Amino acid sequence: CAIEGFMATLGGQVALWSLVVLAVERYIVVCKPMGSFKFTSTHAIAGIVFTWIMAMSCAAPPLFGWSRYIPEGLQCSCGPDYYTLNPDYNNESYVMYMFICHFSVPVFLIFFTYGSLVCTVKAAAAQQQDSASTQKAEKEVTRMVILMVLGFLVAWTPYASYAAYIFMNKGVAFTAQSMAVPAFFSKTS
């Protein structure tokens, strides 16, 4: 169970932090907060390394005693323990860490970068109102941003919300089926 939970969490976090790295990369290229900046293979490697470090910093702690992996939902997959009351595993601090560092921060970064991207493209389109290609690019970027953010939210919000609800309402009754649906969404991201 620990290995399956670790691999599922690691895979989900790699996907999540890859979205963040892509969002930041698009932000830097389009919005130019650092002036004219050229991405190189070194930057791509740094993005990959960062993604894996962040994913490991979320998935590995339960293997070493900070929380644990247990069967969840319909008992056919494993995930972090965010609902038991056992203080021996320090579940509360781990869940807070996960919610802040591995959900709230990525959500903020994705919204900030893609929001800035849309504003920058709209401003460029307003300056070049006659250009059909600029208007088309604006529509494509806006559509891409909306789809990326919606995809992220559909995949992760049910799981994070359900985990937060159970965490904040210790001892609340819940069914295996009600846990399985949010876990399914996050694991298919």
Q: Which residue ranges make up each domain of the chain?
A: 2-187
End-to-end Cα, the chain, rounded Å: 20
Q: How many CB atoms lie within 10 A of CB 117?
A: 20
For 68-105, write each residue's pLDDT tens digit.
999 887 778 888 888 777 788 888 889 889 989 998 99
Q: Please tell me whether 25 is known to bind a ligand.
A: no
3-state SS class at 51: helix
Q: What is the widest separation between alpha-carbon atoms in the chain? A: 65
At the topology level of CATH, where does 2-187 sit? Answer: Rhopdopsin 7-helix transmembrane proteins (1.20.1070)
Provide the token pair at 106: 């990525």
Specify the pTM. Answer: 0.82
Q: Is the predicted pLDDT of residue 65 greater than 80, yes or no?
A: yes
